Amino acid sequence: MTDTLFQFELDFADTLHCVPMGVRLKLDTCGIKLSLAQWNRFDWAERQQLVERPCDGPETVATYRDYVATLVDQHQSGPLKTLAIDPHPAWLQAEVIPLAVQQRAEELGCSLTLTHWQGFSPLQRFALIKLSRPSHENHNFLPALREFGLCTES
């Protein structure tokens, strides 16, 4: 992983035309649902700010939320959609692998153990959770597993 992007995200790193996992984690943390269309109305510098700004404590979460709300308003990109903030999100729960993640890894012939799961950062766990959802275009799940050392090239 680079400072802010996973290897599997590098195909859009120069333009940031897709919302990186790190930003998606921050958005979930501060309770905002941002569409890809809204994201793409922001200029590159604003997107980069969303990548770089911290969002890891009560003050920075509030500041991040306010910054996103300001951008959405400035770009008139529709109403700001909020999400309920999970007080115990799965990516912070190192003691249990979410079933969807485990099943998806097994479908791909990859071994994901609790020891692996516990060794991942919250961002890595978040990425695997998001990429394993049935409603998500999860073509990056296998590249993520490979990047995290769970699957070898086949």
Q: Where does residue 153 rank: exposed (0-12), middle (13-18), buried (19+ CB within 10 A)?
A: exposed
Is the pLDDT at 4 greater than 80? The verdict is no
- Indicate the domain borders of the chain: 9-82, 90-147
Q: Which of 8, 3, 5 is nearest to 151 (CA)?
A: 8
Give the amino acid at 25. Answer: L
Q: Which of 40, 52, 41 is nearest to 4 (CA)?
A: 52
The residue with greater pLDDT, 13 or 35, is 35
CA atoms of 52 and 85, how far apart (whole Å): 21
The residue with greater pLDDT, 125 or 151, is 125
The pLDDT score that the predictor gives to residue 88 is 94
Measure CA 117 to chain center: 16
The pLDDT score that the predictor gives to residue 2 is 41
In sign, the C-alpha dihedral spanning 121, 123, 5, 149 is positive
pLDDT tens digits for 63-118? 999 999 999 999 988 899 999 999 999 999 999 999 999 999 999 999 899 999 99
Q: Which two tokens stand for residue 88?
A: 């115990």
The pTM (predicted TM-score) of the whole model is 0.91
The pLDDT score that the predictor gives to residue 135 is 66
CA atoms of 122 and 86, how far apart (whole Å): 14
Q: Which of 102, 148, 151 is nearest to 8 (CA)?
A: 148
